[in-house]
Chains A and B, each alone.
Chain A
Amino acid sequence: MTAFGRRGSAGLLQRLRPTPIDVADLLEVAEVVLPVLAGPQLRVELVRRSGAGSALLVEEDERSVRVGLGELADDMTGAGVAPTPEAMTAALRAWVASRPVTDAAATTDGIAVLDWADPARSAVGWRVVVRREELTPAWTPLPGTAPGRVEEIRSAASARAAEVQLALRVEGPVALWSHPSMPVLATTALAAPARLLARVADAGLPVDDLHVVVTPQRPVACAGRSVAARLAGETSEASVTLPWERLAGLPWL
């Protein structure tokens, strides 16, 4: 998924030999679409700069993003967005929806999910994300944010994660937790380890030496140690297998 959403790609041919998106066309679409996207705290505007081309400015509370329209057009072309008004409109909406998350939004709507802690995908940690249409952008505290404030946002996000309703599927000795509409929320199952243990026990699975197989954005699997090893051992996909005791100590990213 690109910054322009899942529908940012118009098909193989468009991706292989993209028809460039013309800045003037994008400007026309932006002039119509941007006023609709703005909100009470959200400023979405075109900034005209003489001699330097227009820029798209998105400002919300303490967060701000600016991009030159030419650069945005190039990025859209590279992502395979078709040069039609419909596709450009959708791409602009998605770009605005992927804007940085404000502290206020993280405070009221943040949910804690697990994400990869490093590019090598060897460890996982908690991140605060918010739901915005189909996307779940992550919140990053700005440098200089008071530690108490960061802690407050993270605690609230963990509490909200513990309340997410997940679907449980029992497959023999494996319990699988998933979210029906937003796969990234599956890892909220691990926000309340004691409750996870109780639910696995209620499902009839043995809970001694319970292990959890975690792949960010995929369903979470719980099973005994040897079953978990069998599940995760033969796949080429990245995952982290953790004993239940390690869940309480996962770091914030």
Chain B
Amino acid sequence: MSVLPSGDTGSEVLVPHWLASPERVQLAAAVRSALGDPAVHPVAHIHLQNVLTELHVAAARDAVWPASAARVRLATGWDADVLPVRLSAAELTAVLALCPLPDGLRARLSGGGA
């Protein structure tokens, strides 16, 4: 969670969004729905594919290194199924612009890393 210098390519910085399991399922469904649209730009298509990948990678990260997320959950009181889903600025933009998100999830993601 670093502060981006203005004008820099922030695309490599991945910001964590802490989402519970139902929210991750909603996000996956919304992304898949957007991917089904043939009008989606190829670059945006790649970003959306990466978001689907990240949903799996987030679970894998927690399986290999559970301690850091566990510490955050302990401090915040979040449920055990809450995981940090790490998205680049470009990936987040693609999600917000192209995917049919439920209002609550859209608000969570638009609020930035949390």
A residues whose Cβ falls under 8 Å from a Cβ of B: 169, 171-174, 176, 178, 213, 215, 218-219, 221, 223, 227, 230-231, 233-237, 239
Nearest Cβ on chain A to B3's Cβ, whole angstroms: 16
Partner of B63, one of A171, A172, A235, A236: A171
Nearest Cβ on chain B to A188's Cβ, whole angstroms: 16
**What is the bound-complex CA distance between A5 and B14, given in angstroms?**
39
**What is the bound-complex CA distance between A227 and B52, given in angstroms?**
11
B residues whose Cβ falls under 8 Å from a Cβ of A: 14, 16, 52-57, 59-61, 63-65, 67-68, 86
Whether A215 and B64, one on each chain, are in contact in the complex, defined by CB atoms closer than 8 angstroms, is yes
Whether B14 and A234, one on each chain, are in contact in the complex, defined by CB atoms closer than 8 angstroms, is yes
Residues of B within 8 A of A234 (CB): 14, 16, 61, 86
Residue in B closest to A174 when the chains form the complex, CB atoms: B60
Residues of B within 8 A of A223 (CB): 60
6 further A-B contacts with Cβ under 8 Å, apart from A169-B63, A172-B52, are A171-B56, A171-B63, A223-B60, A227-B53, A231-B57, A231-B61
Nearest Cβ on chain A to B76's Cβ, whole angstroms: 18
Q: A173-B53, A227-B53 are in contact. Are A235 and B68 (CB under 8 A)?
A: yes
Q: A234-B14, A234-B86 are in contact. Are A172 and B53 (CB under 8 A)?
A: yes
Whether B52 and A221, one on each chain, are in contact in the complex, defined by CB atoms closer than 8 angstroms, is no
* A interface majority secondary structure: mixed
Nearest Cβ on chain A to B45's Cβ, whole angstroms: 16
Residue in A closest to B28 when the chains form the complex, CB atoms: A172
Whether A174 and B57, one on each chain, are in contact in the complex, defined by CB atoms closer than 8 angstroms, is yes
Residues of A within 8 A of B64 (CB): 176, 213, 215, 218-219, 221, 231, 239
Nearest Cβ on chain B to A107's Cβ, whole angstroms: 32
Most buried by A among B59, B63, B64: B64
Residues of B within 8 A of A231 (CB): 57, 60-61, 64
Residue in B closest to A219 when the chains form the complex, CB atoms: B64
* B interface majority secondary structure: helix
Nearest Cβ on chain A to B109's Cβ, whole angstroms: 18
Residues of B within 8 A of A213 (CB): 64
Residues of A within 8 A of B52 (CB): 172
Whether B63 and A219, one on each chain, are in contact in the complex, defined by CB atoms closer than 8 angstroms, is yes
Residues of B within 8 A of A237 (CB): 65, 67-68
Residues of A within 8 A of B61 (CB): 231, 234-235
Partner of B55, one of A172, A215, A218: A172
Nearest Cβ on chain A to B96's Cβ, whole angstroms: 20
Residues of B within 8 A of A235 (CB): 61, 65, 68
Whether B65 and A218, one on each chain, are in contact in the complex, defined by CB atoms closer than 8 angstroms, is yes
Most buried by A among B16, B59, B60, B68: B60
Nearest Cβ on chain A to B70's Cβ, whole angstroms: 12
Whether A230 and B59, one on each chain, are in contact in the complex, defined by CB atoms closer than 8 angstroms, is no
Whether B57 and A172, one on each chain, are in contact in the complex, defined by CB atoms closer than 8 angstroms, is yes
Nearest Cβ on chain B to A130's Cβ, whole angstroms: 25
Residues of A within 8 A of B57 (CB): 171-174, 227, 230-231
Nearest Cβ on chain A to B30's Cβ, whole angstroms: 17
Residues of B within 8 A of A236 (CB): 68
Most buried by A among B14, B63, B65: B65
**What is the bound-complex CA distance between A230 and B55, given in angstroms?**
11
Residues of A within 8 A of B14 (CB): 230, 233-234
Whether A176 and B68, one on each chain, are in contact in the complex, defined by CB atoms closer than 8 angstroms, is no
